[in-house]
Amino acid sequence: MNRNVRKKVEKAFNLKIKEEQCFPWGKSSFFQFESNDTKNKKNIDRLSRSSSIVTVYPNVEHKSHIHPGYEEILYGLEGETIHSSNNNHFILRKGNLGIIYSGEQHIMVNNTDMPAQFLSIVYPTIPDMGETITIEDVELLELVKITNLDTILGKLADNASLSVSLIDVSGNLLNESDKFPTFCKLCIREKLGNCIINQNNCVNSPEYKLSVFCCKFNVYSVQSPITINGRLLGYLGCGYGRKTLPSQEKNLIKKFFSEEVHKIALKEYFKLGFANHHHLNSVAEVLALVSSSLVRVIIQAAREKQIDMYKLNLSIDKQRKAELENTLNEAKFRLLEAQVNPHFLFNTLNTIAQASFMEGAHTAASLTHALANLLRCSLGKVENLISIKEEMNYVNDYLFIQKNRFSTRFTVEVRVSYKVEKVKIPFMTIMVLVENSIIHGFSNISYQGQLIINAFLEDGFGVIQVIDNGCGLSDEIIEQVNAFKEESTLQKSTFKGIGLKNIYKRLQYYYGDNFEFNISVMKGKKTRVIIKLPLVE
């Protein structure tokens, strides 16, 4: 459009021509609409992208091309053009109207010796999408792994007759599209471009919106952001065509590409098709729809993943509960095998204790009372959580009995902070550890054993330590303990240490993953067991 015609158009329509795009058959001059109406800014921007004056050169033909996703209304201004689309055929002259529907094959011819001009108004046929629901902690790479996304994007590329790209927030190209231009691949490889893929950080991109992007080599593409809950996951891109003639870019390509590459780059640049402005505008609307659809796919995939994790955790919890119930049932069964009446046993022990006390045998009386207490608590609290203070009462009874049996074999040191006395633990947790130290640790030693029991507060957790200087644990036992800790709850453990395994399983049942259970051998063959628990009172 020459300068005089441009002035007439701008004066007649009270608009400015913001951009011109040249083609072998003619050119399109696009309007710039101005408005202070912020509420309708989106519609005004869309109108700016879709309204133009089209000039068709004399004696030329715009060969068959498709209108994917947009319709075009034509209004003749001067000259004469012939238009064919599917079964529709019309001649466009000054004052005449014509329309090309979405999806139709369009051919345009100017058989005269004079340029022809018409007003073109393009509007997309894709409906607006409503707001989608939101979800956290999803990544585009996860979507690519769990869906046939390459197939979906390939069909989109075929339907739009343009290349399609999927880019994450780090600028990584996630799809392997056969139609992605070799020129763009060269540009990415040589790190010469200024597009989103070359920026390596889409979050800071100035194009954080649906937009038509033009790189420094005048290659055009549409970039549609993919966002969930206000968080940018990446961009869906489409286009990658040129809007200028190749001759205008020869020097630019030669300037940036090295001598080894620039000939190949120029050859591949010539292969790029023209990115029609109207086509890009309709593609922008399509990408907005596809991006919204991808968000729904991501959300659905994330929900299914959450459901699968919930089912797995539920199965693990059920297995833990079943294992604990089996352990408790086994303990009850062993008690029944003793074939004694607990009440009769308690009454008998109390009678012996009273008789011993009356006869002056105070040690025997104390031992009998301690044994009765242990039997009573072992039968009555098998399934309970008890406080550390209450557990230590039973431990002290047990130690009293053992010290009377082996008065010089070992010493005991107990340090329990009042701050953790009310912390709940599974019944017999400390008792089993103490029993292991005395029966197994001190059984075959020639020196005096030392048993240390500590309980204290550390970093908001209750910590229990049981340390002995006995014969120590072999590397095999340590490895077996670590192995059953790592085993899935659904696997059957091969560890033979029933007491330690039961402690771990019961802690796991009550506290899930919110606890620590570690066994180690210290310097001097000292065995140390550490249990760290949340402060449950």
The CATH number assigned to the domain holding 464 equals 3.30.565.10
* Statement to judge: residues 185 and 227 lie in one domain: yes
Percent of all residues in the chain with a pLDDT value above 90, rounded to a whole number: 17
Query: Smallest Cα–Cα separation from 505: which of 320, 238, 246, 299?
Result: 320
- The answer to whether position 421 is within a domain reads yes
* Statement to judge: residues 109 and 231 lie in one domain: no
* Statement to judge: residues 33 and 98 lie in one domain: yes
Least-confidence region, from 130-144, 293-307, 315-329, 373-387: 130-144
Beta carbons of 481 and 500 less than 8 angstroms apart: yes
The better pLDDT of the pair 346, 88 is held by: 88
Report for 105-109, 124-128, 318-322, 373-377: range of highest mean pLDDT: 105-109
Percent of all residues in the chain with a pLDDT value above 70, rounded to a whole number: 61
What's the pLDDT at 112? Answer: 94
* Statement to judge: residues 524 and 387 lie in one domain: yes
- The answer to whether position 107 is within a domain reads yes
* Statement to judge: residues 158 and 48 lie in one domain: no
- The answer to whether position 484 is within a domain reads yes
pLDDT band for position 246 (50/70/90)? low
Task: Report pLDDT digits (tens) over 227-240.
Answer: 766 677 777 777 78
Query: Smallest Cα–Cα separation from 359: which of 370, 346, 368?
Result: 368
* Statement to judge: residues 152 and 71 lie in one domain: no
* Statement to judge: residues 96 and 149 lie in one domain: no
* Statement to judge: residues 161 and 264 lie in one domain: yes
Task: Report pLDDT digits (tens) over 476-518.
Answer: 777 877 777 776 444 444 444 457 878 888 888 888 888 999 9
What's the pLDDT at 222? Answer: 78
- The answer to whether position 369 is within a domain reads no
Q: Does residue 312 have a pLDDT over 60?
A: yes
Question: What is the secondary structure of 153-207 as a DSSP string?
Answer: HHHHHHHHTSEEEEEETT--B----TTS-HHHHHHHHHT---SHHHHS-GGG-TT
Q: Does residue 199 have a pLDDT over 80?
A: no
Report for 8-12, 112-116, 199-203, 322-326: range of highest mean pLDDT: 112-116
For the chain, how many structural domains are there in total?
3
- The answer to whether position 348 is within a domain reads no
pLDDT band for position 338 (50/70/90)? very low
The better pLDDT of the pair 59, 365 is held by: 59
Q: Does residue 128 have a pLDDT over 90?
A: no
Task: Report pLDDT digits (tens) over 157-193.
Answer: 666 667 777 777 777 777 765 667 888 888 888 888 7
pTM strictly above 0.75: no
Quick one: average pLDDT of 454-459?
Answer: 94
Q: Report d(CA 275, CA 508) in Å as an integer.
A: 62
Query: Smallest Cα–Cα separation from 238: which of 189, 300, 298, 196?
Result: 196
- The answer to whether position 414 is within a domain reads yes
Single out the residue in 307, 339, 365 at which a domain terminates. 307
pLDDT band for position 111 (50/70/90)? very high
Single out the residue in 124, 153, 174 at which a domain terminates. 124
* Statement to judge: residues 527 and 394 lie in one domain: yes
Q: Does residue 340 have a pLDDT over 50?
A: no
The better pLDDT of the pair 171, 409 is held by: 409
- The answer to whether position 475 is within a domain reads yes
What's the pLDDT at 526? Answer: 87
* Statement to judge: residues 386 and 512 lie in one domain: yes
Q: Report d(CA 142, CA 219) in Å as an integer.
A: 30
Q: Does residue 217 have a pLDDT over 60?
A: yes
Range of the domain at 266: 140-307
pLDDT band for position 419 (50/70/90)? very high
Give buried/exposed letters for 131-156 (b at 16+ CB in 10 A, else e): ebeebeebebeebbeeeebbebbbeb
DSSP state at residue 125 = -
* Statement to judge: residues 182 and 149 lie in one domain: yes
Task: Report pLDDT digits (tens) over 7-59.
Answer: 666 666 566 666 777 888 998 887 765 545 555 455 445 544 567 889 999 99
What average pLDDT does the structure give for the chain? 74
Bridge partners (DSSP) listed for residue 358: none
Q: Does residue 352 have a pLDDT over 70?
A: no
CATH number at residue 44: 2.60.120.10
Single out the residue in 292, 307, 322 at which a domain terminates. 307
- The answer to whether position 392 is within a domain reads yes
* Statement to judge: residues 204 and 108 lie in one domain: no
pLDDT band for position 133 (50/70/90)? very low
Quick one: average pLDDT of 358-384?
Answer: 60
